[in-house]
Amino acid sequence: MAKLLISDCYPKVADSLKGLFTALGLSAQTADNAENIIKTVETNKPDVVVMDVRLNNKRRWDVVEKIKRMSPNIKIIIMSTYSYSDISDDLKKYDITRGYGDAHKEAPVKRKNPPLHLFKCS
């Protein structure tokens, strides 16, 4: 059974995703901050990390870098409401190249609730 680690700056989002993945038969747990993500990756060795790049109101690309260094085979899926143009330099720097849906496109209209973009780390 695949093991997932989920982290989002909003605990309700992380808990909802955990419930969804658990209902699909996957083993899922949550981490509420950058330090707990790193600890959980070290101790539980998840197969996939699903995380918001914003943690504690800061962009935390360093967490992505640490995970990739510690466990290069872990798959990382980045969730973000940042527009592609806001984070494109960071995506290139951390070799995050594949977007899902319209992640690579700009939203045509600025909205109060921006769309969620998903990116996969190579």
pLDDT given for residue 58 in this prediction = 67
Q: Give yes or no for residue 86 having a pLDDT over 90.
A: no
Please tell me the CATH code under which domain 3-121 is placed: 3.40.50.2300
pLDDT-based confidence at 106, cuts 50/70/90? very low
Q: pLDDT tens-digit profile of 27-52?
A: 999 998 888 999 999 999 999 999 88
Q: What is the pTM of this model?
A: 0.77
Amino acid in the structure at residue 33:
N
In the structure encoding, which two tokens stand for residue 24, read together? Answer: 């699909």
Query: Which DSSP helix (H) or strand (E) runs through 45?
Result: none
Cα(43)–Cα(26) distance, integer angstroms: 18
Question: What's the gap between Cα 57 and its chain centre?
Answer: 15
Give me the half-sphere count of Cα atoms (radius 13 Å) on the Cβ side of residue 72: 2
In the structure encoding, which two tokens stand for residue 69, read together? Answer: 């260094």
Residue 48, beta-bridge partner list: 4, 75
Where exactly are the structural domains of the chain? 3-121
